[in-house]
Structure 1
Amino acid sequence: MSTQKVAVVTGASQGIGAGLVTAYRKLGYAVVANSRSIQPSDDPFVLTVPGDVAVPGVGKEIIRQGLAAFGRIDTLVNNAGVFIAKPFTDYTDEEFDLVTGVNLRGFFEVTQAAAKAMLTQEGGHIVNVSTSLVEHANVNVPSAFASLTKGGLNAVTKSLAIEYAARGIRVNTVALGIIRTPMHPEETHQALAGLHPVGEIGEVSDAVGAVTYLEDAPFVTGVILHVDGGQSAGH
């Protein structure tokens, strides 16, 4: 088996996901990068696997291709996610299927396949990306679907951390505030900054730094790490 470590990143084509690909390469990892429309990389240690993680079979295929290319899976970052902010009574069945498909089913299939691979090795690390809105709801940001799905990720983080604690697999979550990514148009940034006690929005480097901290923290598992400018502490 290869000794070079391998990280899998979903939602890897832009924003935080793209930042994670770069960060893991700097750490010396090979990277399996997935998003719906990701383009091939000219880096031989970055394997791009296009596909929608909400579609059955895609999660297993990401891990299958990663194992075929690099021989092992050491870290999975479940970064792919969908956020739709609207009043609860305005959500549609289609939006429910979209959000649960990416945020829950996408997590389930790729994580199950990655965990199976990690159990045949000396362990591994699973990191989920969540939101502080789960624990600190905001009257200005209706977010029932985020809480329903990302709250599930927060809960399963602790469950899996305990299930695998003695088997070498750590499971953690990074719960974010608003991060400056293409998801948020420039003209919204000032208003979004007001959601955080520090008065500004976060940078991709803040989110990436939290994940790389967890990567190098062998005694940390089952943690929800808030990277949110104080949002989860109060306002």
Structure 2
Amino acid sequence: MKNKTVIITGASSGIGKGIAKYFIEKKSNVVMNSSNLENLKEAYQDLGSPTNATYLAGDISKKETGQKLVNLAIEKFNSVEVLINNAGVFSPKPFLEVEDKDLELYWNVNLKGTYFASQAIIPHMIKQHNGAIINIGTVLVEHAIDGFPATAPLTSKGAIHSLTRQLAAEFGKNNIKVNTIAPGIIRSPLQKKIGVEDADSLAGLHLLNRIGEIKEIAEAAYYLASANFITGETINVAGGHTAGHSI
């Protein structure tokens, strides 16, 4: 992946920032995106303002943002090989309390963001007959938990899992690989945002009896970005969460 160009959405904090850091250290060219310019600029500076990275703030649910990211990648680094659709929002809420505005939020940011960014980059991948798209889903799509009601965000994430397979089918002939990473419980700022004060208390949800680290998601993303014979797959990076529980 050295000198290859990677667009990462939702890169100002948490998993997205960790993925950006990993690729930057591996000498990839990185285009970072987030909706908040101040947070994005701070993240870029925190990573050392690397010369092999740049950033562009914008609402990823807007079609033009994806196009601007692709244009910036080509203008700055003369190529674009990888898209990592990490931007997303997630919060539990009982099914009977979900309102229209909740569904709009998750479908706009999670699904439309992934959809439109992919739509912007695929024409360039077709031209070069090569590319990788990595979507971020969740193990909860296939492994529901009674005590964590999150139908609103999960339906959008489930749609992303389905989108992954369909894009892999449509563009496999163009040598475009499309896969999903489904994280388990990861030590990130998201946990406190959704009300989990002690993320380690959820270790028993994983057979390895610990929660995951951001770097472990970044390692999976790096592997999929360079893998040439994997497409249409959902890779669970979840310590055995979908196989069973350690309680």
TM-score by length of 1: 0.93
Counterpart CA distance in 1 for 2:197 and 2:140 is 22
Name 1:202's counterpart in structure 2. Answer: 212
Deviation at 1:216, TM superposition (A): 2.9
Alignment of 1:38-77 (within 5 A): 38-39=40-41, 41=45, 42-77=49-84
CA RMSD of aligned residues (A): 1.7
- Write the letter of the residue equivalent to 2:202: L
Name 2:13's counterpart in structure 1. Answer: 14
- Write the letter of the residue equivalent to 1:178: I
Contact 2:206 2:244 in 1 (8 A): no
Counterpart CA distance in 1 for 2:218 and 2:13 is 13
- Write the letter of the residue equivalent to 2:229: F
Q: Secondary structure at the match of 2:103?
A: helix
- Write the letter of the residue equivalent to 2:128: Q
Name 2:203's counterpart in structure 1. Answer: 193
Name 1:230's counterpart in structure 2. Answer: 240
Q: Is 1:182 matched with 2:189?
A: yes
Counterpart CA distance in 2 for 1:190 and 1:165 is 39
Evaluate the alpha carbon distance shift between residue 123 and residue 8 of structure 1 in structure 2; reply closer, same or farther with a 3 A threshold.
same
Counterpart CA distance in 1 for 2:66 and 2:224 is 23
Deviation at 1:183, TM superposition (A): 1.3
Counterpart CA distance in 2 for 1:95 and 1:209 is 32
Counterpart CA distance in 1 for 2:202 and 2:56 is 33
Counterpart CA distance in 2 for 1:78 and 1:159 is 16
Percent of residue pairs identical: 36
Contact 1:85 1:142 in 2 (8 A): yes
Name 2:173's counterpart in structure 1. Answer: 166
- Write the letter of the residue equivalent to 2:206: H
Alignment of 1:48-197 (within 5 A): 48-185=55-192, 187-197=197-207
Counterpart CA distance in 2 for 1:97 and 1:120 is 34
Q: Deviations over 1:15-54 (max 9, x none)?
A: 1111111211233211110011211552222110011212
Query: Which has more helix, going by share of residues?
Result: 2
Q: Deviations over 1:137-172 (max 9, x none)?
A: 011111212321111111111111121112111001
Contact 1:133 1:143 in 2 (8 A): no
Name 2:224's counterpart in structure 1. Answer: 214
103-112 or 92-101: bigger deviation: 92-101
Q: Deviations over 1:48-104 (max 9, x none)?
A: 001121234222222122222122210000011111211111112222111111111
Q: Where do 5+ consecutive residues of structure 1 fail to align?
A: none
Contact 2:27 2:52 in 1 (8 A): no
Matched pairs, number: 233
Q: Where do 5+ consecutive residues of structure 2 fail to align?
A: none
Contact 1:32 1:47 in 2 (8 A): yes
Q: Secondary structure at the match of 1:226?
A: strand
Deviation at 1:209, TM superposition (A): 1.2
Q: Secondary structure at the match of 2:210?
A: coil
Deviation at 1:127, TM superposition (A): 0.2
